Every structure is written in C-alpha cells, then in structure tokens.
Amino acid sequence: MTCDPDSGFTRCQVAGAVAETTLHDLRVNLFRFPGFPQIDISDDPGGSMTVVLRWKKAASVQFQLSKAEAKSAVKKFRSGCRP
C-alpha cells in the first residue's frame, strides 16, 4: 500500500472507490458481469492512473483517471458518501 505524498491517497483507496462504484452500478443499472473483477491500479508517467478490471476467463476493461478524479473518488469513499 503505497501513498503518494503529493496526492494524499493510496492505490488501494482508489481500488476501493472503484469497487464501490462497480457495486453501485450493479444495483442501479442491473449491469451483470461474470463475477467480481480483480481491480489493478497503476500510476502513469503523465500524471494519471490506469484502472484495469479483469475477470477470470473473460475480457478486461481499462480506463484512465486523472489524479483529480482519483482524489475526488477517494474523498467520497473515505466519507462513506455513495456514488
């Protein structure tokens, strides 16, 4: 669990926010997927974060979050505010 001193949050907290948002989407939109995905977060040299959702024996989904978007998601995640 590494924390970037400039951002004030960890990749694990970003993954938690993504997981919570995924569950919210499942409840609201009845979106279905084959099991819960593995969530991988990595820092990009350009200052953004890459989020990869992987399913066993299935495709993966990848998207980018800016540091500002990640920070906002973590802030909501920490406060218990739902997406």
| Cβ–Cβ < 8 Å for 67, 47 | yes
pTM above 0.85, yes or no: no
What are all long-range contacts of 61-69, with beta carbons under 8 Å and residues at least 24 apart?
61/37, 65/14, 67/7
Q: Rounded to the nearest 10 degrees, how much is the dihedral formed by the CA atoms of 31, 60, 73, 69?
A: -120
* Helix intervals (H) in 30-81: 67-79
- HSE of 52, CA atoms in CB hemisphere, 13 A: 11
Quote the number of domains for the chain: 1
- pLDDT tens, N- to C-terminus, the chain (83 residues): 454 556 688 899 999 999 998 888 888 887 676 678 899 999 888 889 999 999 887 788 899 999 899 988 998 888 876 55
Structural domain for 35, as ranges: 3-79
- Rounded distance between C-alpha atoms, residue 33 and residue 43, angstroms: 26
